[in-house]
Copies of this chain bind each other. A is one copy, B any other.
Amino acid sequence: MSERKASGDPGRATIRDVAERAGVSVASVSRVLSGNYPVSDELRRRVMKVVRDLDYVTNAHARSLAGGGTPTVAILINNITGAAFTHVAKGVEGAASLRGWLSLVGTTGDDPERELALVNLMRQQGVAAVILLGGAYDYDEYQMRMARFARSLDSAGSHLVLVGRPPLEGDVPATTVDYDNEGGAYAMASHLLSAGHRRVLVLPGHSELTTAQGRLRGAQRAFEAYGVPFDPDMVLHGPYDYEHGYDAVEESLRRKLDFTAVLAGTDVVAAGAMQALRAAGLRVPEDVSIVGYDDIPLASQLTPQLTTVHVPYEEMGRVALRAVADRRERGAGRRKGGDGDHLVLGTHVVVRNSVQPPPLP
């Protein structure tokens, strides 16, 4: 019948196939499908029947090349099995699909090379925005690297969004969605101090990670506010994982450090710490109190349930996507820094059962 292709047609059906079979023009099919142009009922019926018969779907690449197309956002995350930031991804994804947007997910595995490659890949895809999730390492290079990303994406009509990282300095075209990291740590430490604890083991995280730095600062400020001396020897840095929590507490006990509470940088770290205390025969919270940070589901599943800082991760994801959508609607207009490009969400302490006043000596 058709001279373009043999009957055993292997590839997918095109809009031309539909037009031909329905006996109408290609333009009409396009109009029926996108529905942004008046079409007679008769034509619509004819076209839709063929569309169903052929199980036709439009080619998204061709569509977006021709100007249409569904907007897409890229989510770049360190580790998709990680606890906290997958909730941000969920928030972004949910908000995106609510608007009919698509989301691409890439994992960087903490590798700057891979991060660069992914940003470029996403730029090729013409994404509406690249959303970078998770705390960053505060190397000197970080600012420059991100600034380069931001400008590069911006000049390609895209946009960089940083979630859970510190904002970029200077006049860089990027949006930051942040939470009150330091404030949460301040409140959490205050909670311990007001319960009477004075000797606190602090496990803020990796010393070069921006979130760890903020959490440590918050804790220090709380100590100052309470007039309690802050002992640097009680601070143990390390990764945000279970093993670090376990090892740090084990080590501290071995070194006979004197503490009545543990301020963990993360709920997972707190879980490890709790396990180590228990292995040493200490009770939580009767002998030692523990607090975490993040308020992931695990926090309420531990025994005892963990007092921790709630971070609105999913909300942050939604906010990030809204920021992208907003800026796209009003034409990415004037920026000039400081505008609405740094959004900070609040945190708060969730009191559960892992804190008690310290035991009498």
| Chain A residues in the interface with B (C-beta under 8 A) | 10-12, 55, 57-65, 69-70, 75, 79-81, 86-87, 89-90, 93-94, 97, 102-107, 114, 120-121, 123-126, 152, 155-157, 242, 268, 271-272, 274-275, 278, 297-298, 301, 303
Contacts and interface: CB of A to CB of B under 8 A. Distances in A.
A10 B80 contact: no
B107 A94 contact: yes
Contacts of A57: 120, 123-124, 156
A266 to B, nearest CB: 13
Nearest to A104: B104
Contacts of A70: 121
A301 B272 contact: yes
A52 to B, nearest CB: 12
19 contacts: A12-B126, A12-B156, A12-B157, A55-B152, A55-B155, A58-B124, A59-B126, A60-B125, A61-B61, A65-B65, A80-B80, A81-B87, A97-B106, A97-B107, A102-B125, A103-B104, A242-B301, A274-B303, A303-B303
B107 A60 contact: no
A96 B102 CA distance: 19
A94 B271 CA distance: 28
A191 to B, nearest CB: 23
A80 B107 CA distance: 13
- 8 interchain residue pairs of minimum CB distance: A105-B105, A60-B124, A12-B156, A61-B61, A61-B65, A60-B125, A57-B124, A81-B86
Contacts of A152: 55
Contacts of A89: 80
A13 to B, nearest CB: 8
Contacts of A274: 303
A106 B106 contact: no
A59 B156 CA distance: 10
Given A57-B156, A75-B105, A97-B114, 12 more contacts: A57-B123, A59-B126, A61-B61, A65-B65, A70-B121, A80-B86, A94-B107, A102-B106, A102-B125, A268-B301, A271-B301, A274-B303
A105 B107 contact: no
A354 to B, nearest CB: 14
A51 B278 CA distance: 60
A103 B152 CA distance: 22
Contacts of A75: 105
A127 to B, nearest CB: 10
Given A55-B155, A303-B275, A126 B86 contact: no
Residue among A90, A97, A242, A301 with most chain B CB within 10 A: A301
Nearest to A72: B104
A90 B303 CA distance: 29
